[in-house]
Amino acid sequence: MPLIQLQNVDARVASLAVVYHLGRPGSEIDPETLREHRASLEPVQAAIREQLDNAVITLDVAPWQVQRLGQALLGASNELRQYGIAEGRSVVPGFSEAVAEFWPESVEDPSVASDLVQHAVMLRRRLDAVIGEAEAEMAAAQAAAEAEREARRGRWWQVWKR
């Protein structure tokens, strides 16, 4: 499981990205089982909130969570652009409240959100290596599971060779 360390400002941006991610319907559904994924970002959000007063925050996350966090950061950067253009409004539940909680000055000046876009993009870039490793690990696990499935499926008709 990857360990991620974030500065306080980056942790607030990551928390905002998780709010964005969790606010989208179906974001935590596993495409294979169509059930809520066992490694959702809700525990990540809880871990960030617990440590938000610290200068450095440490997150122990699963590869699936790292990948989702990367996607959430990209989505949050787009939503922050929209937030600034729409003068402090967002269609994502809880997003406006989270921006106001972490950056109170954005209540009076929503253009502050435009400056936050850089933080989200830079955090995503800093996490590129970890996200790449997580995606490679997930691909390897999926390939192994597919090979195992293929091995089980390929022998059913060769009953006489057992």
pTM for this predicted structure: 0.83
Q: Which of 110, 21, 4 is nearest to 62 (CA)?
A: 4
CB of 19 closer than 8 Å to CB of 45: yes
Beta-carbon neighbour count of residue 27 at 10 Å? 16
pLDDT in tens, 68-87: 999 999 999 999 999 988 88
pLDDT in tens, 92-118: 999 999 999 999 998 888 888 888 999
Contacts with 73 (C-beta within 8 Å, 6 or more apart), sequence order: 13, 14, 17, 120, 121, 123, 124, 127
Mark 126-141 as b/e (b = at least 16 C-beta within 10 Å).
Answer: ebeebbeebeebeeee
Number of domains within the chain: 1
CA 115 to CA 120: how far, in whole Å? 9
Where in the sequence is the domain holding 109, given as residue range(s)?
A: 3-161
- Compute the average pLDDT of residues 45-60: 93
- Of residues 155 and 151, which shows the higher confidence score? 151
Q: 33-47, 100-114, 121-135: which range is least confident on average?
A: 33-47
Report the DSSP beta bridge partners of residue 3.
Answer: 60
